[in-house]
Chains A and B, each alone.
Chain A
Amino acid sequence: MKLVLNCAEVTRGDWRLSAQGIFAEGIHLVSGDVGSGKSTLALMMAGLLPAASGSVIREQVSLQMISFQFPEYHITGTTVNEECASWGLDPATILSSIGLVEKGNCDPFRLSRGELKRLHLACVLANQYDLLILDEPFSSLDVCEKQRICSCLSGRSRGITVMFTHEQTIFPRVKHIWEIHEGRLRYCGSPPDGLLNWHHAPLLIKNLIAAGKTPKNITTDDLMEAACVT
């Protein structure tokens, strides 16, 4: 099971983004500045945006999902319960896991952005996909919820998970790190070695590396462990 970006390129006027690489099973983190083209690449990888040149090949990927940055696009139910059911899930189980049991009969549009994002991610992560693309999964979430999502993601046993984010503090355990730099997708490598090539690495990680305390991975626990090394 893999996703291959074969010199895939998107152009928009003078702006250009080119991507080359192979995404195998595991969690891939793609970082980049705001406006660097993360969402565009996510759409292209999901097959929703055709490549101007090159190709995107999905091998043995039969079930895929892209989670848009704004969860409103995914709403099809008129109540929160209906929304859960539209994902083929039991509303009671999902809502109790995210603490929204009392909102079951509410209109999903009446939820706050944070609540809606929680609901949406809970539904997405409750299903198994061969290819799961998450565009800014941590936007609108508080620290606790980010941690919860990270542990859910770290627990994903199979499939390709590609996470596009400019998050700087909380991450799941990742297998590969990529970044978009100057209109090009660049493979940094797998942690811990990949952290040394990561230009967009958060300041904390950069400081740890500079102090000779390269973390094993990028989860909060890994960073704490590295920071505590004497």
Chain B
Amino acid sequence: MRDVRLRTGSATLLSLIAFYSITGAIAAFVWWLLFTPNFRLVWKNRLVLPSVVLIGLFSGILEITGGGGLSYFFRMMVVILIGAWLLSGQKRGEFLDLGCWLFGSRTGFELGMLAEMALQNLNSLIIDFDRIRAAERMKGVRSGIRSIVSVGRVLIHWTLLRAEDTAELLAMRGYVRGGTCVPAFVREKGDLIAAVFAICAAIIALIPVSAFFILS
């Protein structure tokens, strides 16, 4: 799905219904299986498996302490899968286009720019992480609880450094608020159909079954 408006809209809708109920999660999961490269995305995106492990951990604690952990795990899994699909097709500048299209050149520009910066930072974090791990391996430092602290320190250091650089750059260029951007969108065959099916999935998930069928 190349049109970022339809992609983001579908992803938002599907994430909401997936989180809302098990029925919604099933509907969103079926949509994910049908309209995305599905499991190929999971292997490509290196953030999916760690996220699943983390969610699994929280769900386990929830199940043991109060129940409902399994339902939470399944719903969150679907949200993660939808998120992975949303980011897999992301192109630089798309969210700036989307922000300006949605909210105009002032608030929209700022929101779009924030989203772009966040994604850029996410990509940088992945590169940083690889470099740190490579450096640790060559030093002979083993992965473990102790190495998490040092990895975290370096990641935070770089993130703050980049944030400072970006802030300085914006200030130097006289950035105050908003900006000019002429949004352009590309749509490919099948984008609309997938979006329509996402809406259908949401209707199925949100409207009770009894509204469709007369049950005795």
Q: Count of B residues near A, CB < 8 Å? A: 18
Q: How large, as a class, is the contact surface on chain A? A: 10 to 19
Q: Are B138 and A66 in contact (CB under 8 A)?
A: yes
From A48, A64, A76, A88, B150 is in contact (CB under 8 Å) with A76
Q: B168 in the interface, Cβ–Cβ < 8 Å? A: no
From B128, B130, B140, B153, A75 is in contact (CB under 8 Å) with B153
Query: With the chains together, A218 CA to B139 CA distance in Å?
Result: 31
Given A48-B130, A77-B150, A72 and B157 contact (CB-CB distance below 8 Å): yes
> Chain A residues with Cβ under 8 A from B135's Cβ?
66, 68, 73-74
From B131, B134, B136, B158, A76 is in contact (CB under 8 Å) with B136
> Chain B residues with Cβ under 8 A from A64's Cβ?
138
Question: 0/1 per residue, B149-167, Cβ < 8 Å to A?
Answer: 1100110011000000000
Q: Are B139 and A74 in contact (CB under 8 A)?
A: yes
Q: Are B153 and A73 in contact (CB under 8 A)?
A: no
Interface hits, A39-98 → B, CB 8 Å: 46, 48, 64-66, 68, 72-78, 86-88
Q: Are A73 and B150 in contact (CB under 8 A)?
A: no
Nearest-Cβ distance from residue A61 to partner chain B, whole angstroms:
12
| Residue in chain B with minimal CB distance to A68 | B131
Once A and B bind, how many residue pairs between them come within 8 Å at the CB atom? 39
Q: Are A73 and B141 in contact (CB under 8 A)?
A: no
Nearest-Cβ distance from residue A66 to partner chain B, whole angstroms:
7
From B136, B138, B140, B154, A72 is in contact (CB under 8 Å) with B154
Q: B36 in the interface, Cβ–Cβ < 8 Å? A: no
Query: With the chains together, A48 CA to B135 CA distance in Å?
Result: 10
Q: B147 in the interface, Cβ–Cβ < 8 Å? A: yes
Q: Are A73 and B132 in contact (CB under 8 A)?
A: yes
> Chain A residues with Cβ under 8 A from B158's Cβ?
72
| Residue in chain A with minimal CB distance to B128 | A73
| Residue in chain B with minimal CB distance to A66 | B138
Q: Are A87 and B139 in contact (CB under 8 A)?
A: yes
| Residue in chain B with minimal CB distance to A123 | B139
Hey, which bits of chain A sit against chain B, CB under 8 A?
Answer: 46, 48, 64-66, 68, 72-78, 86-88, 109
Instruction: List 3 tightest A-B contacts by C-beta distance, closest first.
Output: A76-B150, A74-B135, A73-B131
17 example contacts (A-B, Cβ-Cβ < 8 A) are as follows A48-B130, A48-B134, A64-B138, A66-B134, A66-B138, A72-B154, A72-B157, A72-B158, A73-B135, A75-B150, A75-B154, A76-B141, A76-B147, A77-B150, A78-B149, A86-B141, A87-B139
Hey, which bits of chain B sit against chain A, CB under 8 A?
Answer: 128, 130-132, 134-136, 138-141, 147, 149-150, 153-154, 157-158
